[in-house]
Amino acid sequence: MDATIEKALHIMLANWERMKKSHEDDAEDDANTFEASFYHLMEQIREWFGKLEPKPTTVDDALLLPDMAKLEEQMPVEILLNFETELELIVEGETRIEDERYD
């Protein structure tokens, strides 16, 4: 797996675990930290994807790439749909508007 994607994945997973164990006082900050790390991971994937030749034309084809298959295996099931949705946008060459992120 690409080193920058792997690093971003590990940070996102650590933030996911911290968010799941948050106490009420820290919950909002931990959720915001997780969200930022999730979107940072997706930006790393977008950059990596931009260098692929040929590029997959569907999200299913993208998920068959060894790096994406490995990443998907490590992704918590609770955020798998969000990951696949963001990956679909990347495959389609679209960028999510900041206000359209998951809240």
Q: Which of 7-11, 29-33, 61-65, 91-95 has the lowest mean pLDDT?
A: 91-95
At 49-62, the pLDDT tens digits run: 999 999 999 999 99
Helix 3-20 to helix 66-74 angle (10° resolution) is 10
Q: Global pTM?
A: 0.89
For residue 72, which phi and psi values (nearest 5 degrees)?
A: -60, -35
Which residues contact residue 22 at a Cβ distance below 8 angstroms, ignoring those fewer than 6 apart?
Answer: 30, 31
At 54-93, the pLDDT tens digits run: 999 999 999 999 999 999 999 999 999 999 999 999 999 9
pLDDT for 100 equals 56
